[in-house]
Structure 1
Amino acid sequence: MTGTSSPTPPAADGRSTRWNGHKARRRADMLDAAVTVIEEHGTDISVQQIADRLRVPRPVVYRHFDGRADLDDAIRRHILESLLAELLPRLRPDGTMKDAVRGAISTYVGWIERHPHLHRFLTAADPHSESSGALAGARDRIGGQLADLFAESLSRFGIDRNRARPMAFGMVGFVDGVVNSWRAAPTLTSEQVEGILTESVLALLEGNARSLDVPLTRDTVIADVIARAEVARA
């Protein structure tokens, strides 16, 4: 019995591909413009302000988004990507534990201090909106990267890797809660908040390390811990 071959799908139209690229760039330009308007005028912005920034008619902005809610969600995702691009590289083992913790916290708090309107725009998301899910996803990425780091360290000492996840996400939740409280009532300087968060997170790390009999303190060089663990397992 002779089978029939499925029809070959038509090749993509080059003009369509170029148009899609143009639309993506145009959309990115609009999100950049929206971020600039928020930075300058605060969270209560209009589509007209975005259009004015780009020198286009207001309906042109809406051509790239399914209404205002979709636009706001896209802006929040755009802001989150900018924040994560600064923060995630700091969540890598380098220097002492204190260096690593202080570097990550300083980056996060510093970003918020430099971009207070963007932070307020992020935290004002409707809990049921798509951007609220994106914000939760960003926390998951940060917590997940921390969890992977902790899990790798624990496994080198023969300790269950599953202990890492609650430790990592607990720290992310703690930092997030302290920062949100500070921004709602900024009675402390950013340096004071960084100091409180750094000391608190280091205390949590050292306390968990002691309970698991892991030789880890704030002054431990992370590379040395990894090297000692590898020697012990050899």
Structure 2
Amino acid sequence: MTGTSARTSSAAADGRSTRWNGHKARRRADMLDAALTVIEANGTDISVQQIADKLKVPRPVVYRHFNGRADLDEQIRRHILESLLAELLPRLRPDGTLKDAVRGAVGTYVGWVERHPNLHRFLAAADPQGESSRALAGARDRIGGQLADLFADTLAGFGLDRNRARPMAFGMVGFVDGVVNSWRAEATLTSDQVEGILTESVLALIEGNARSLDVPMSRDTVVGELISRAEAVRAQ
């Protein structure tokens, strides 16, 4: 076989492989979508057979795309979190006042949990032995990291140590998560009440930290002004 023929054959094989990989990825996505639909309708205790029935395929076909049940459950959690983060992360790039920003982010999260209680329970069940799911830990890192960057830029804009931002950001993420988990375990309050409590609590944490650092910032501060100040400092 000539060099040209070998390269042509190799390219054709690579093309077939790429098409097959794309097909497998789509099939996995279809299976994960079906799993979320089954969880929404039937609760967190789902079987592989229910997923297969939803797709009208034999049960072994589902297992063929995952490395056992533990991998399937982890990929389901990852898929759930992707749907949550698609709604939540844009709210962490806020407009308006600080109060508007906090209410928007908190309201988005509380609203998602209220609309998808079974998906939230499936996520919460990921930690039965105190070992966090990789997907869940990754989502917390993304949310906390984005908040930390915003806080760090704000602190830098006032000439303060950026390293103070990370514990503040992750502390708030943990606080909100804990309150929401407690609310879903025993829903004695409405979502509006929980949203109000969380909004006021997070604002109090931000304002308290601002006072302790002599930063002139309150709930009525326009977030865009803080970001503009931080960008000006970085440009120096």
Question: TM-score, with normalisation over the residues of structure 1?
Answer: 0.90
Tell me the residue number matched to 1:91.
Answer: 92
Q: Do the aligned residues in 2 keep the contact of 1:73 with 1:129 (CA within 8 Å)?
A: no
Which letter does structure 1 place at the counterpart of 2:210? Answer: A
Q: In the superposition, relative to structure 1, how do residues 85 and 74 fare at CA in structure 2: closer, same or farther (>3 Å)? A: same
Tell me the residue number matched to 1:186.
Answer: 187
Tell me the residue number matched to 1:42.
Answer: 43
What secondary structure does 1:86 align onto? Answer: helix
Question: Structure 2: how far apart are the matches of 1:199 and 1:183?
Answer: 19
Tell me the residue number matched to 1:4.
Answer: none
Q: In the superposition, relative to structure 1, how do residues 226 and 88 fare at CA in structure 2: closer, same or farther (>3 Å)? A: closer
Tell me the residue number matched to 2:117.
Answer: 116
Question: Structure 1: how far apart are the matches of 2:14 and 2:137?
Answer: 38
Q: Does 1:225 pair with 2:218?
A: no
**Deviation string for 1:162-199 (max 9, x for gaps)?**
01111101100110111111111110001000000000
Q: In the superposition, relative to structure 1, how do residues 126 and 202 fare at CA in structure 2: closer, same or farther (>3 Å)? A: closer
Tell me the residue number matched to 2:152.
Answer: 151
Structure 1 portions without partners, runs of 5+:
1-7
Tell me the residue number matched to 1:167.
Answer: 168
Q: Do the aligned residues in 2 keep the contact of 1:96 with 1:220 (CA within 8 Å)?
A: yes
Tell me the residue number matched to 2:54.
Answer: 53
Equivalent residue pairs, number:
225
Question: Structure 2: how far apart are the matches of 1:15 and 1:127?
Answer: 42
Question: Structure 2: how far apart are the matches of 1:169 and 1:116?
Answer: 24
Which letter does structure 2 place at the counterpart of 1:117? Answer: N
Report deviation, 1:106.
0.3
Q: Does 1:75 pair with 2:76?
A: yes
Tell me the residue number matched to 1:27.
Answer: 28
Which 4+ residue blocks in structure 1 deviate beyond 3 angstroms? Answer: 126-131, 225-231
Tell me the residue number matched to 2:135.
Answer: 134
Question: TM-score, with normalisation over the residues of structure 2?
Answer: 0.90
Identity percentage of aligned residues: 83
Report deviation, 1:13.
2.4
